[in-house]
Amino acid sequence: MRIGLLTDTHLPNMIRDLDELGPEPTEFFSSVDLILHGGDLIYTRVLDWCEQFAPVLCATGNNDPYDDSRSKEVQTLEVEGWRIGMVHELGEHRPMENLRAKFPTPMDIMIGGHTHQETLYEREGVVIMNTGSLTFPRHKELRLGGVGLLELTPGSLRAEVIPLGETTGRPNPCEALSLQIRRDG
């Protein structure tokens, strides 16, 4: 299964929807089976936009004052035998016991947002991932940033943070990151 990830879109701000960033977001999300948004979307219109491509779940962010059935403070799901947990403020660099305490059960993959800074690594057997921001990477002004991709099978995981391109006159600061894990049946 291919899962598309994004976080911290903060729309509407200077633009009304993600199509205004160019064709890259549409091209990327049209290739996935599920979309996970790490929060701070501001308005649910972003989730509606995502749903034209695939089902979507969202972790409620600190700037998300709405009620929507697709959003919860803590999202957990299992895909291809991998347990995925997502919260907006994960705190990727905190001790693992702090991260584990955010979820009701042990997770194989923990996804967060909030920092606008991409992160991808494995620690103590858990994949930690933050795709940064698609629209305000590293808290720069509006420009294309990064998205994430999880490709999951029962025996393997491939995770990537992908810079989506350039906005004219505004270089994309997002760093490409990848990680692959194989596990025995």
In total, the chain counts a number of residues equal to 185
So what's the pLDDT on residue 136?
87
CA distances from 108 to 2, 46, 58 (A): 16, 27, 18
pLDDT value of residue 185: 62
Give the right CATH number for 2-182 from 3.20.20.110, 3.60.21.10, 1.20.1050.10, 3.40.190.10.
3.60.21.10
Asked if omega into 106 is within 30° of 0 (cis), the reply is no
Given pLDDT bands bounded at 50, 70 and 90, which one contains residue 165?
confident
Residue with the bigger pLDDT between 55 and 41: it is: 55
Contact at 8 Å (CB) between 35 and 52? no
What's this model's pTM, rounded to 2 decimal places? Answer: 0.95
Mean pLDDT of 125-142: 91
Cα-based angle 69, 4, 15 (whole degrees, multiple of 5): 75
Judged by DSSP in three states, 48 sits in helix
What's the pLDDT score for residue 179?
98
Q: Is residue 103 a contact partner of residue 110, using CB atoms and an 8 Å limit?
A: yes
Q: What is the pLDDT of residue 149?
A: 98
pLDDT for residue 142 is more than 90: no
